[in-house]
Structure formats: C-alpha cells, structure tokens
Structure 1
Amino acid sequence: MNKAELIKTIATESGLTQTQANDALNALCKVVIDELSIGGEVNIVGFGRFYVAERAERMGRNPKTSKPVMIPATCVAKFKAGKTLKDAVA
C-alpha cells in the first residue's frame, strides 16, 4: 500500500474527505518526526512505539577494496509493534 492508497482507505474508514485524510496523515508524520528529532518517543497503545536508539561505532568493510572502515556511531529511528498489531499479523 502506498501513501495515496493509505489516504483513500483512511478517508473511507473515517468518513473524512481525502483532503482531510491527507492532512491528518501528514500531521501524524510531522508529529512523529518532530518528537523523534528531539530524542523523544511516540507510543500508540495497541499499535506500537516509535523511538530513537543509538547505534554504536563499528567496524565495516569497503566492498570494493575489502579494506576495513570505521562506521561512526549514529542515532536511528526504530519501531516496535504493539500487542494488537502483533496478534493481527500472527
């Protein structure tokens, strides 16, 4: 499902217009991005949790030259599925 299909489905399920559904989806994305950018987390009970995790510095390998390369530490966005979502998928 792409973004356009998701917007259409949200509009159908909620009774909103597609423009309103698009605005709602964009607002949700903006809130999640803004919260994660300051190191916070967003927890939607039953659906899941968006959070920031630190990835440690590690040794990698350049595939062209096979020489070792140090990959610097970084922060990454992660998602952990909630119980309702896990049960629905299983």
Structure 2
Amino acid sequence: MNLISINIYIDRIQFEVFSIDNGKRNNVLQNEIKIPISFSMGDKLEYIRKFMSMIINRNKVKKAYLNINDKLEVYTIKIEGIIEEVLSSYGVEICN
C-alpha cells in the first residue's frame, strides 16, 4: 500500500509517495509542485487538482498525511480544501 505525505506552502506543494514493508519505509516518488504566480486563483486550484489526481492515481495511494506550513494564509486553506477533495474522490484515507 502506498502513502503520500503532502506539505502545503503558499507558493508550492511538496509531496512524497512511499510504502511501508515490514516496518521499513521505501520511497517511491519525491517532488514538488511550483504554483504559477501568473495563474488566477481558480486556475491555480485546477492546476493543483489535475496534478494531484495524476500522482494519486498513478501511484495507487491509499493513505495521506497533510501538513500546512503557512497556516495563516487564506490561500493555503483553499489549497488544503482542493487536495482533500481530490483525496476523497479517490477514496484515500486522510491520517493525522
């Protein structure tokens, strides 16, 4: 089973897909999404939705961990919401 750890910042999203076998963590994919400054808010959210959908679907992610690093920004709350929507649509369990 693959898991994903997602770190949300105001200008990027860092993520790491990994699996745990016999108590050992095996990294599958580690990267970040730079959020284009020139996009409108709606386009930014659609960009994030499409990118995260692709990552979750291709890597068969079953559980996710979300970390918000810029908590006081309304923008990061919107990003968190769109990511939670994508995770939910793929049946991914969000863990604390």
TM-score (norm 1): 0.31
Larger radius of gyration: 1
TM-score (norm 2): 0.29
Structure whose residues are more often strand by fraction: 2
Higher relative contact order (CA 8 A, sep 6+): 2
